[in-house]
């Protein structure tokens, strides 16, 4: 028996990295009964079937620290949200949605403002300030010219992290800059044992020992809608402390007169864009809850 990490899933085959080796594994049938199936990022116990051909079987999935449904990922330590300073314009609504979601999941989040070469410094710093004030780390990069990469890289050391952000913001370019190689280009990714090209939905790229980045093409569509609207304010981490000043139980923090959070916004303690985005996301969640069925 050995312990390993699932680094990718290729046509129903689990690729498991152990301390010294990489094995192709099947999963034991009894996982299906338990309605749990192994996902990328899972730590698993495997039983070697054939050392020569590196075949093994997954016997057990170890307890997960966290689980993301779409894309299916377990045990992510850090979520890296990438926006671009310009081209495309920074999408702070999307960013706030994703930050809320990572709070809900209980996963550390950090922010990268890429394409720093395409916008004035003050404008970038304005955005940076909104988020550093709340307590998020914000990295400013120019992936194309590999600027700001070392700082980001140091932050990711020792973690399994996943990048997310709208298309075109520079995620692939950033990953390449971190690896200093074109590893995320299509085609390079996976050939199975028969030499056939297959597509992997998600794969963990090893940067160094204990450091992996999940390359997730479809990460932009987070399931932010799983957050219950009345809990949304808890996912805006600078809002929480003002809730005690709300007069009503079940305050939505939008229109109520005696709302501590709204007052904090009016007093300039909560940023305009964060509060506006809270309202937008809240209304979104409300619409969805009302039309659920
Ligand atoms: N000017 C500039 N262009 C960049 C930067 N990073 C990425 N790009 C360009 O932006 C485009 C989209 O980048 P890509 O990495 O494919 O974005 P992705 O969709 O998020 O993976 C490409 O043409 C990149 O060359 C940057 O820091 N500055
Ligand atoms: Mg890409
Ligand atoms: Zn309130």
Q: Which ligand 1 atom lies nearest to the CA of residue 165?
A: 20
Distance 170 CA to ligand 3 centre (A): 37
Q: How far apart are CA 208 and CA 196, in angstroms?
A: 27
Determine the pLDDT at residue 208.
87
Q: 55, 39 in Cβ contact below 8 A?
A: no
Give the orientation angle of helix 149-156 with respect to helix 171-179, to 10 degrees: 80
Asked whether residue 231 carries a pLDDT value surpassing 70, the answer given is yes
For the residues 122-141, what does the mean pLDDT come to? 98
pLDDT tens figures, 267-293: 999 999 999 999 999 999 998 888 865
Closest residue by Cα to atom 13, ligand 1, is 170
Ligand 1 within 6 A of CB of 118: yes
Cis omega (within 30 of 0) for bond into 38: no
Contacts of 183 (CB under 8 A, 6+ apart): 175, 176, 205
Distance 51 CA to ligand 3 centre (A): 61
Ligand 1 within 6 A of CB of 78: no
Helices then strands, each counted (H, E), the chain:
7, 13
Q: Which ligand 1 atom lies nearest to the CA of residue 169?
A: 20
Ligand 1 within 6 A of CB of 173: yes
Ligand 1 within 6 A of CB of 115: yes
pLDDT band at 225 (very low <50, low <70, confident <90, very high): confident
Asked whether residue 185 carries a pLDDT value surpassing 60, the answer given is no
Ligand number, closest to the Cα atom of 141? 1
Of the chain, the end-to-end C-alpha distance in Å amounts to: 47
| Domains delineated in the chain | 2-63 (2.40.50.140), 74-215 (3.40.50.300), 227-290 (1.10.40.50)
Distance 18 CA to ligand 2 centre (A): 28
pLDDT band at 97 (very low <50, low <70, confident <90, very high): very high
Is the pTM higher than 0.85? The answer reads yes
Ligand 1 within 6 A of CB of 235: no
Q: How far apart are CA 239 and CA 216, in angstroms?
A: 30
Distance 239 CA to ligand 1 centre (A): 33
Buried b vs exposed e over 212-239: b needs ≥16 C-beta within 10 Å?
bbbbbeebbebebbebebeebbebbbbb
Q: Which ligand 1 atom lies nearest to the CA of residue 184?
A: 21
Cis omega (within 30 of 0) for bond into 71: yes
Asked whether residue 34 carries a pLDDT value surpassing 90, the answer given is no
pLDDT band at 26 (very low <50, low <70, confident <90, very high): very high
For the residues 232-256, what does the mean pLDDT come to? 95
Asked whether residue 28 carries a pLDDT value surpassing 50, the answer given is yes
pLDDT tens figures, 59-79: 999 999 999 888 889 999 999
Ligand 1 within 6 A of CB of 117: yes
Average pLDDT, the chain: 88
Closest residue by Cα to atom 1, ligand 1, is 115
pLDDT band at 6 (very low <50, low <70, confident <90, very high): very high
Ligand 1 within 6 A of CB of 143: yes
């Amino acid at each position: 028996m050995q312990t390993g990490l699932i680094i990718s899933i290729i046509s129903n085959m689990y690729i498991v990295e152990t301390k010294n080796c990489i094995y192709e594994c099947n999963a034991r049938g009894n996982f299906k009964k338990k309605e749990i199936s192994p996902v990328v990022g899972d730590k698993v116990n495997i039983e070697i079937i054939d050392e020569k051909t590196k075949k093994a079987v997954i016997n057990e999935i170890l307890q997960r620290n966290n689980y993301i449904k779409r894309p299916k990922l377990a045990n992510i330590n850090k979520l890296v949200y990438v926006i671009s300073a310009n081209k495309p314009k920074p999408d702070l609504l999307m960013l706030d949605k994703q930050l809320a979601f990572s709070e809900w999941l209980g996963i550390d989040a950090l922010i990268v403002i890429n394409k720093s070469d395409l916008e004035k410094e003050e404008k970038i710093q304005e955005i940076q300030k909104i988020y550093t004030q709340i307590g998020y780390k914000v990295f400013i990069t120019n992936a194309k010219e590999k600027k700001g990469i070392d700082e980001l890289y140091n932050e990711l050391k020792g973690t399994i992290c996943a990048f997310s952000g709208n298309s075109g913001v520079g995620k692939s370019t950033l990953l390449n800059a971190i690896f200093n190689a074109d590893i995320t280009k299509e085609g390079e990714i996976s050939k199975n044992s028969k030499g056939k090209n297959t597509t992997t939905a998600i794969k963990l790229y090893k940067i160094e020992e204990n450091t992996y980045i999940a390359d997730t093409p479809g990460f932009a569509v987070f399931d932010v809608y799983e957050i219950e609207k009345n809990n949304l304010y808890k996912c805006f981490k600078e809002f929480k402390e003002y809730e005690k000043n709300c007069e009503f139980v079940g305050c939505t923090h939008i229109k109520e007169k005696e709302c501590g959070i709204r007052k904090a916004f009016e007093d300039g303690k909560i940023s305009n864009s964060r509060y506006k985005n809270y309202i937008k996301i809240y209304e979104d969640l409300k619409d969805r809850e009302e039309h659920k069925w």
